[in-house]
Amino acid sequence: MSFIEYGDTIKDGDTAVVFLGHESMFPVKVQHGTVTQTKYGVIRHSTDLIGNKYGSKVTCSKGGWVFILHPTPELWTMNLPHRTQILYSTDISIITMMLELKPGSIVCESGTGSGSLSHALIRTVAPTGHLYTVEFHQQRAEKAREEFREHGVEHLVTVTNQDVCKNGFGVSNIADAVFLDIPSPWEAIGHAKSALKAEGGRICSFSPCIEQVQRTCLAMEEHGFTEINTLEILLRVYNVRTISLQIPDLGKAAEDNSSTGFDSSNPSTRGSPCAELQRGTVQFKSGMPLREMVGHTGYLTFATKS
């Protein structure tokens, strides 16, 4: 099993996603002789998982059922164990596009955190590219190495435990893109410039506060970066529902009703469009934004090495 190559059959040692519903799923490491408890009952790895196909419908001990899904970076983002705040697919998609990543790209990242963006970057640059990711916290760096090994992508990523603001990324003049998600990205702009290829490399910095963005932009200008721009991605979800609106009185409703022979006392005409006109309201489907939704996540600042 690998996060970058699809496999048909569930094997011992795989990471699989147990899908109970769109709002309820979790990852599980498949191991012979192990059981997993769900609200629908027990899943026995030896008989219910190993040897079956991904996407299979598995009946649990209480009679309920779940689906077993092959892991992807998107599913991992929704279900990973949080060691830090993470980036979600909305921001990840625009980062991948604006950094102009493709198979074969060399990318530098700091910090690794929980590995949400890292998995998406690895999938994008595979099979011939490489990710160099730097994590300041030693335990988080070791856990990231372990996850990459379990997910079958360790040959595409190098994890380094050091302070990127002081020691850089450990590579020079080879990266097609650099991504920064650290408290003081302006201190790492010089090292990012050194890691990027001689000309045309792209850089992105993620910061939750506009003051961080301002200092980062100034540092980018000082180091000769061009095409500096900052954007913010906001996801706005719409709820489709039936609403009622009054029909404006244009002075012809009574005349139209008499000409069509409409009889409001006749039960057969109730519920018809004419009846709705008589009542002065009409119902139709409409998309309404949710009253509460996820708002600001962070500002994304992009620039190009001149």
Residue whose token pair is 């569930």: 10
The annotation status of 142 as a binding-site residue, yes or no, is no
The annotation status of 207 as a binding-site residue, yes or no, is no
CA 102 – CA 181 distance, rounded (Å): 21
The annotation status of 117 as a binding-site residue, yes or no, is yes
Residue 173, helix vs strand vs coil: coil
Structure tokens at 85: 């705040």
The annotation status of 181 as a binding-site residue, yes or no, is yes
Which stretches does DSSP call E strand in the chain? 15-21, 24-29, 35-38, 41-44, 57-59, 65-69, 106-110, 130-135, 157-161, 177-180, 202-207, 225-231, 238-246, 281-289, 299-305
Q: What phi and psi values does residue 72 have, to the nearest 5 degrees?
A: -135, 165
The annotation status of 163 as a binding-site residue, yes or no, is yes
The residue among 9, 50, 4, 8 whose CA lies nearest residue 29 is: 50
Query: Is 164 within 8 Å of 111 (Cβ atoms)?
Result: yes
Side chain identity at residue 294, one-letter code: V
Q: Which residues are bridge partners to 231 per DSSP?
A: 300
Length of the chain in terms of residues written: 306
CB-side exposure of 163: number of CA atoms within 13 Å?
A: 5
The residue among 128, 107, 129 whose CA lies nearest residue 118 is: 107
Query: Is 42 within 8 Å of 60 (Cβ atoms)?
Result: yes
Structure tokens at 303: 């620039």
Q: Which residues belong to the annotated binding site? A: 114-117, 135, 163, 181
Could you list the residues known to form a binding site for S-adenosyl-L-methionine, using ranges: 114-117, 135, 163, 181
